A and B are shown apart, each in its own frame.
Chain A
Amino acid sequence: MSVYTRHSTKLALVLAAFALVGTTLLALTYSATKDNIAASEKKAKLALIAQILPPALYDNDIIRDASELQPTAELGTAEPTLVYRALKDGQAVAAILEVVAPDGYAGKIKLLVAIKSSGEISGVRVVAHKETPGLGDYIEIAKNSWIKVFDGTSLDKHPSKEWKVKKDGGQFDYMTGATITPRAVIKAVHKALVWYSNNQEKIFSLPAQEQTK
């Protein structure tokens, strides 16, 4: 074995040793923090859900009873999403859908839409968006309460042609300077409502998917 080969081998072994120590440390940290992180993620998710669906309305473990929904054109989803199902005494109370508005001013707007079994919207929240700060971002609850315009609305109360901003002849308020953003959100919520009314039974008959995260 030449001196170079021996040197290279030594370097490779040192690097491998560092990698091994690093990986071990990471594995230990991961297993030490895993449960805590899962618990706090669940808490954060429940807190978000509590904003759009009062916890008093249901008595099941809404996170564990969530089930996977295949990509659905009406919901704008391109990947499998989760649907949360709220039950009280085994009776369906509401469902929370993950909805994507594909035509925001700057790409997709991700929403959570809670719909009661009566077809009435319990609440909507924007989960992720890239709209212009200071103009289109009023759809975020942290910036503005606009998103609450949907609370209590339903297809019965507003026929399809009213699901537009006032500027387009609909019945929803919007803010000057950004019309494309609310248009996209209103359209997506409306489509989700229509889809929900056609698929309500299917949603509640889906098998629960045991979640690890």
Chain B
Amino acid sequence: MSDVNYKEIIWNGLWKNNAGIVTLLGLCPLLAVSTSVVNGVGLGIATIMVMAFSNGIVSLARNWIPREIRIPVYILIIAVLVTIIDLSMNAFVQPLYLVLGIFVPLIVVNCNVLGRAEAFASKNPVLPSMVDGFMVGMGLTLILAVLGGMREILGKGTLLSGIDLAFGASAKAWVITVIPDYHGFLLAVLPPGAFIGLGLLIAGKNWLDQRKAARAEPAQAPQAATAAA
């Protein structure tokens, strides 16, 4: 258990295997909800919660789950967990529920949760599994926030609109008007804007990775490079 590499788990979740722009899992809620930063982060936080707990429980139960029926059992665990979170939030933290509530049911259909249960939590101890779930959720939240920000600036000319729903009416002052007197660019807010924005983000990540690889290459194998040329 001591050989668990948390650094790698974090790096994988946030960047290398980012759910939003690399594995491209759970795109349905991602594309639908990322119309603004606040919406995106809202879905992100709900996803982090569900993923951390579902990974933890799957890991806890992993020795009792026969291989042949693991998928239905995971689905059962995730569905029960999401429903419990949904009901408890509604009952005990109503203000939070009003903001995040609509996102929670969306997570049941998010295959990231099932994907991490199968790929990580079923083979690892509880703590690393929870960290993994948290970090994959975190990676998704970052993408949601960036994509939400892009679409919000282009579509409405603002940032953080709707923040008053989360922090009360006084938070209305936090809304940043990036482009004053902007009439809106509808395409960015509608579904095509989500696809185009996501495409740009994926391209951006690939570009960064390639640039890094190109820089590393000459240092590591200069002779191989010249031989190939």
Whether A associates with B in a native complex is yes
Instruction: Kindly supply a per-residue 1/0 record for chain A positions 3-37, scoring 1 wherever the CB is within 8 Å of any chain B CB and 0 otherwise.
Output: 00000001100110011001001100110111011
Residues of A within 8 A of B (CB): 10-11, 14-15, 18-19, 22, 25-26, 29-30, 32-34, 36-37, 40, 44, 132-135
Minimum CB–CB distance for A28 against chain B, Å: 9
Q: Give the chain B neighbours of A26 by CB distance below 8 A.
A: 80, 83-84
Q: Give the chain B neighbours of A11 by CB distance below 8 A.
A: 66, 68-69
A interface SS class: helix
Cα separation A14 to B84 with both chains bound (whole Å): 22
**Does B73 belong to the interface (CB within 8 Å)?**
yes
What are 17 A-to-B residue pairs whose CB atoms are below 8 Å?
Answer: A11-B66, A11-B69, A18-B65, A22-B80, A26-B84, A29-B84, A33-B90, A34-B91, A36-B91, A40-B90, A40-B91, A133-B35, A133-B190, A134-B155, A134-B184, A134-B186, A134-B189
Q: Give the chain A neighbours of B35 by CB distance below 8 A.
A: 133
Known A-B contacts A22-B80, A133-B35; the reply to A29 vs B88 at CB < 8 A is yes
Inter-chain pairs besides A15-B72, A18-B76, A33-B91, 11 sampled, C-beta below 8 Å = A11-B66, A14-B65, A14-B69, A18-B73, A18-B77, A25-B84, A26-B84, A29-B83, A29-B88, A32-B91, A44-B98
Query: Which 5 pairs between the two chains have the least Cβ-Cβ distance?
Result: A33-B91, A36-B91, A22-B80, A33-B87, A134-B184
* Residues 103-159 of B contacting A (Cβ, < 8 Å): 155-156
Minimum CB–CB distance for A180 against chain B, Å: 16
Cα separation A15 to B64 with both chains bound (whole Å): 10
Q: Which of B66, B79, B190 contacts A14 (CB 8 A)?
A: B66
B91 & A14 in contact (Cβ 8 Å cutoff): no
Q: Which of B68, B76, B91 contacts A37 (CB 8 A)?
A: B91
Q: Give the chain A neighbours of B66 by CB distance below 8 A.
A: 10-11, 14
A15 & B90 in contact (Cβ 8 Å cutoff): no
In the complex, what residue of chain B is closest to A134 when comparing beta carbons?
A: B184
A37 & B90 in contact (Cβ 8 Å cutoff): yes
A22 & B76 in contact (Cβ 8 Å cutoff): yes
Minimum CB–CB distance for B180 against chain A, Å: 16
In the complex, what residue of chain A is closest to B188 when comparing beta carbons?
A: A134
Most buried by A among B84, B91, B190: B91
A40 & B94 in contact (Cβ 8 Å cutoff): yes
Q: Give the chain A neighbours of B83 by CB distance below 8 A.
A: 26, 29
Minimum CB–CB distance for B204 against chain A, Å: 26
Q: Which of A15, A25, A44, A134 contacts B73 (CB 8 A)?
A: A15
B186 & A133 in contact (Cβ 8 Å cutoff): yes
Minimum CB–CB distance for B64 against chain A, Å: 7
Cα separation A34 to B92 with both chains bound (whole Å): 11
Q: Give the chain B neighbours of A29 by CB distance below 8 A.
A: 83-84, 87-88
Cα separation A29 to B81 with both chains bound (whole Å): 11
Cα separation A26 to B155 with both chains bound (whole Å): 41
Cα separation A132 to B65 with both chains bound (whole Å): 47
Most buried by A among B87, B98, B155: B87
Q: Give the chain B neighbours of A10 by CB distance below 8 A.
A: 66
Minimum CB–CB distance for A90 against chain B, Å: 33
Q: Give the chain A neighbours of B65 by CB distance below 8 A.
A: 14, 18
In the complex, what residue of chain A is closest to B74 when comparing beta carbons?
A: A18
